[in-house]
A and B are shown apart, each in its own frame.
Chain A
Amino acid sequence: MPSLRELQCLFSNAVLAAAGTPPAFALAGPVSGAECIAIYRRTIRENYRHALGATYPVVQRLVGPPFFAAAVDAFARARPSRSGDLNEYGDAFGDFLAEYPPAIGLPYLADVARLEWAIDEANRAPDSSLAPDIALAALAILPAERLAASRLRVEPSCRLIASGFPLLRIWQVNQPGFDGDLQVALDAGPDHLRIRREPDGIALERVTEAEFTWLATLARHASLAAALEQAQRADAAFDLGAAMHRFIGDGTIAGICNER
């Protein structure tokens, strides 16, 4: 008699096998084994379609439900879930779509998915308790000679997504209730976007490539000097003062990391 472990492995193999394959364990009851397994195969598939449909509404809208369902099914086979929390599943969907042959004619699709995952992450990120003036006060009392080596704290919900396409515009015209001009000029990119959760909801803002590089470097806990160097590589005219003013003012920079 197979052990519980063996039965669970056989069940798993049966669900993952091609449709119509009878399971390699014995069943009792009137319905055939292949039919019973087909029911589970279907409920499992539906769970992933629903979960990713909630996370990726714009991707779904762009490709239509049948294409989306097929893409999710292929994704679930290629990158199976590793967590009992379905909310954690789907982070690799953008990377998957970038390589998914049926989506080859939609080169912006992967970036849309990456943006939607970033929005999802921003919605689940820790709450930030620091007001902009507190961040500013912490900076103001720092001696000038220590400023360059200090590390600024990027607010925990902040995400940065870059795309060769006009990603913000694609996202905006595909929001429910959008009633403006639906035309998107695909050559109107690139876009560098800062995503973060604000009290009224998710805010998407375009930033310059240099600002993007600066924020991305700070988010990796690099020093202010290192972030400045990277930003100036993107744009020699990068204005540090203006960037500090903008991103401390809007709360993207939420303070200074404690000195080690």
Chain B
Amino acid sequence: MTSCHALPAHAGIGLRAPHLRQVQTERPAVAWFEVHSENYFADGGPALAALDRIRSDYPLSLHGVGLSLGSTDPLARSHLQKLARLMARVDPALVSEHLCWSDVGGRHFNDLLPLPYTDEALSHVCSRIAEVQDFLGREIAVENVSSYLTFAEATIPEWEFVTAVARRSGCKLLLDVNNIYVNAVNHGFSADAYLVAIPPEAVAEIHLAGFDASGPCLIDTHGARVAPPVWALYRKAIARFGPRPTLIEWDLDIPAFAVLAEEAATAQAILTAHHALAA
């Protein structure tokens, strides 16, 4: 196992099932990988064995999609226990989740649903993050999600809510630059102003993905290449925050691994240019 316990400030790739075998056999030159934690909650089996081998060659980040941090249902202890078991197994460089909710009244929607940005939601989600961090015994990073509606009750701009979550709970931020762009277009705010509000020291990782623009809103599908305006926003993010571990996510209509590697190379060129500029 690599002894590196932080993600390198390079481009990584979100590893999904169709590429597990190829990555194990070809060991491509990728700085790090990220997987969805829940996909490795199994008790045993080939996927978990593959993850062990990948972990022995690359730094690994665990990205959860099902903890439902913003839910008003009780925190799912069994889910947390499985996450803790997986963390003990693979010693991840980073553990992250989403700033959203997914279940209410025992019914799960298995989707990243938006929070109303209110003082009550802020207090609630901060106490839940604290509960999770206490249980896991480590800091987590939380990701800003894309959204397709704004609650009339919302009193706090999204960027202030996200910043306040990091300040109050002591968690890190996984800043999804595509989600910032999608929300800026959908809700009519300035993506640049959003970036300026984020404290650089809180940003542990950046996500990049593609969206769908065929409907009344931009939809964050993770099913396309990163769009040009998102690359432009990413350049601004790196200029402001400095180089950060940056992940290419692609979860729907997953293309050949080479396409993901191309996207990662584009991100890496931006990171490298910043390193060169700083030197």
Residues in chain A within 8 A of chain B (CB atoms): 1-5, 7-9, 11-12, 15, 25-31, 33, 35-37, 39-40, 43-44, 47-48, 50-51, 54, 80-87, 89, 123-127, 156-157, 197, 201
Contacts and interface: CB of A to CB of B under 8 A. Distances in A.
A127 B153 contact: no
Contacts of A85: 38, 41, 66, 79, 82
A47 B43 contact: no
Given A8-B71, A80-B107, 13 more contacts: A3-B120, A4-B115, A8-B101, A11-B104, A12-B104, A25-B151, A29-B188, A43-B219, A84-B103, A85-B41, A87-B38, A87-B41, A125-B42
B95 to A, nearest CB: 15
Interface stretch (B44-52, B133-141, B242-250): B44-52
A84 B148 contact: no
Interface string B114-139: 01101011001000000000000000
A81 B73 CA distance: 14
Nearest to B112: A43
B79 A126 contact: no
A43 B219 CA distance: 9
Interface residues of B, number: 54
B47 A123 contact: yes
B45 A123 contact: yes
B216 interface: yes
Interface string B150-188: 111110000000000000000000000000000000111
A44 B109 contact: yes
B58 to A, nearest CB: 22
10 contacts: A7-B153, A12-B109, A39-B149, A40-B149, A84-B103, A86-B38, A87-B41, A87-B42, A124-B43, A125-B44
Given A39-B215, A39-B217, A85-B79, A2 B153 contact: yes
Nearest to A81: B108
Nearest to B37: A85
Nearest to A84: B66
B61 interface: no
B41 A125 contact: no
Nearest to A23: B149
Contact of B153 (A1, A37, A51, A87): A1
B270 interface: no
Contacts of B239: none
Shortest Cβ-Cβ A-B pairs, 8 listed: A84-B66, A26-B152, A124-B42, A127-B44, A36-B149, A126-B43, A81-B108, A5-B72
B110 A27 contact: no
B102 A84 contact: yes
A86 B118 CA distance: 29
Nearest to B111: A44
Given A35-B216, A123-B46, A126-B44, A44 B110 contact: yes
